[in-house]
Amino acid sequence: MPEGVVHPPATVCVTGANGYVASHVVHALLAEGFTVRATVRDPTSPPKTAHLEAIADALDARDRLSFVRGDLMQAGSFDGAMAGCDAVIHTAASVIFAHPDPQRGIVDPSVEGTRNVFDSIRKAGTVKRVIHTSSMAAVYGWDKPTDHVFTEADWNTASTLSNDPYGLAKVQAERAARAYVDALGEEDRFELVHLHPGMVFGPPLVKAHTKASPRLLRDVISRGQPGVPRLMLGVVDVRDVAEAHVRALTHADPPPRCLLVAENAWMTDLASELQSQFADIRMGATPIPKPLVLLAGLFDKTLNVRQLWHLVGRPMPIDSALSRSAYAMSYRPVAETLRDTATPMIDEGWARVTRR
């Protein structure tokens, strides 16, 4: 068996386990038979742990799930979580797109947080493989030709502190992670794999998850924006992302970087499909021209006008062929993903709806 391969019932630490993607990763790991050590900032807080406990109970796997405190910005706080683990899935990250001090508020938590986690992994001395959940934001950029198709060979060289600090943070965190491992001595080294999901949709498990990437669809459902911009998204289902993480753990020779995308689609088409599925709900699915998108960005501080200027109307296709060949990924249809994202938001009241 190759040195880095991990199989059930091995112990896998999942950082930021209460997050949107991470919660589904925990489900996939427990379903596969792994033992999961879940890190959250406050293990005594039911809002952060109750839905994960419910997942474990449903799978009759409560004895294979435990919680440990971990704070990205506190050096050494992951030491206890990593002790004795066979593998780590590092999903914890700062998901903030705008901040008065983007270096301190967005970039530093991603880069320093990754280093803090990796320091604890090195100290543990038992971890064979680390799966780092990166993002398509570390790969794609608007400085390429408009007919460019993005692959694992690409790096985002367009994002800066001013025009896209989130994308810059993803680039720097991934580079820092790779540099960290490459600098380790042979006795300390562990295998590192980066996964790059596109725009992640799929079932939110708690209300807090609707503030992650499903927010784009929540805004359509709730008419939270005046309309929908023509943005190209590489869409992927959160359940498929979780499955890819498990396959990366058990793969004999995983590629160092891998893009996870089911389909490239315009946001306007996604909104139209969602509206057709829920015809009785009046949604904000009307396409809006680029000038109005930029105007909205001046009033909504979560939007970055400089980034939107480059992205609206621009094709940004992503090639996910490697994930299909290396990990045998067979992605859910996007229409199914949209339906399964919207249904719990509507049923649980996490999105305001106006009936026709």
Q: pLDDT tens digit string along 33-64?
A: 999 999 999 999 999 999 999 999 999 999 99
How far apart are the C-alpha atoms of 186 and 190, rounded to whole Å?
A: 9
Domain residues for the domain of 263 are 11-347
Let me know if residue 91 belongs to a domain: yes
Residue 228 and residue 269: Cα distance in Å, rounded? 9
Going by pLDDT thresholds of 50, 70 and 90, the confidence category of residue 356 is confident
Q: Per the domain annotation, does 6 fall within a domain?
A: no
Torsion sign, CA atoms 216, 221, 227, 231: positive
Q: What is the mean pLDDT of residues 157-177?
A: 93
Confidence check: pLDDT of 331 > 50:
yes
Which token pair is 196? 């790059």
pLDDT at 343: 98
What pLDDT score was predicted for residue 129?
98
Q: What pLDDT score was predicted for residue 292?
A: 81
Q: Report the pLDDT averaged over residues 295-317.
A: 79
pLDDT > 80? residue 304: no
Measured distance CA(75)–CA(311) in Å, rounded: 37
Confidence (pLDDT) at 245: 98
Position of tokens 């999942």? 14
Strands of the 65-69 sheet, one edge to the other = 65-69, 35-40, 11-15, 87-90, 129-133, 191-197, 257-260
Is the pLDDT at 353 greater than 80, yes or no?
A: yes
- CATH number, residue 216: 3.40.50.720
The model's pLDDT over 61-98, given as tens digits with 9 standing for 90+, comes to 999 999 999 999 899 999 999 999 999 999 988 777 77
Q: Answer whether 242's CB lies under 8 Å from 24's CB.
A: yes
Asked whether the predicted pLDDT for residue 303 surpasses 70, the reply is no
* Three-state secondary-structure class, residue 338: helix
Over pLDDT 90: what percentage of the chain?
84
In angstroms, the CA 292 to CA 300 distance is: 12
On the question of pLDDT at 2 being above 80, the answer is no
pLDDT score at 290: 85
Orientation angle between helical segments 215-222 and 334-347, nearest 10 degrees: 60
More confident residue, 3 or 251: 251
User: Using an 8 Å Cβ cutoff, are 205 and 51 in contact?
Assistant: yes
User: How many Å from the N-terminal Cα to the C-terminal Cα in the chain?
Assistant: 59
Q: What is the pLDDT of residue 224?
A: 82
Q: Which residue, 94, 93, 92, 89, is CA-closest to 36?
A: 89
pLDDT band at 100, cuts 50/70/90?
confident
Question: H-type helices in the chain, by residue range?
Answer: 20-32, 46-58, 79-82, 102, 108-124, 165-183, 215-222, 238-250, 267-277, 290-299, 305-311, 321-326, 334-347
Domain count, the chain: 1
Establish if 5 belongs to a structural domain. Answer: no
pLDDT at 131 over 50: yes
Check whether 1 has a pLDDT greater than 50: no
Flag whether pLDDT at 4 surpasses 90: no
Within-domain flag for 353: no
**pLDDT for residue 301:** 63
Q: Is the pLDDT of residue 300 over 70?
A: no
**d(C-alpha 84, C-alpha 283), whole Å:** 49
CA distances from 170 to 6, 85, 184, 232 (A): 26, 25, 22, 19
Q: 92, 70 in Cβ contact below 8 A? A: yes
Structure token pair of residue 237? 């289902």
Has residue 299 been placed in a domain?
Answer: yes
Residue % of the chain over a pLDDT of 70: 97
- The whole-angstrom separation of Cα 73 and Cα 14 is 17
**Residue 217 lies inside a defined structural domain of this protein:** yes
Inside any domain, residue 352? no
**What residues are paired with 265 via a beta bridge?**
233
Which tens digits make up the pLDDT trace of 240-257?
999 999 999 999 999 999
> Residue 186 domain-assigned?
yes
Q: Which of 117-121, 225-229, 305-309 has the lowest mean pLDDT?
A: 305-309
Is the pLDDT at 171 greater than 80? The verdict is yes
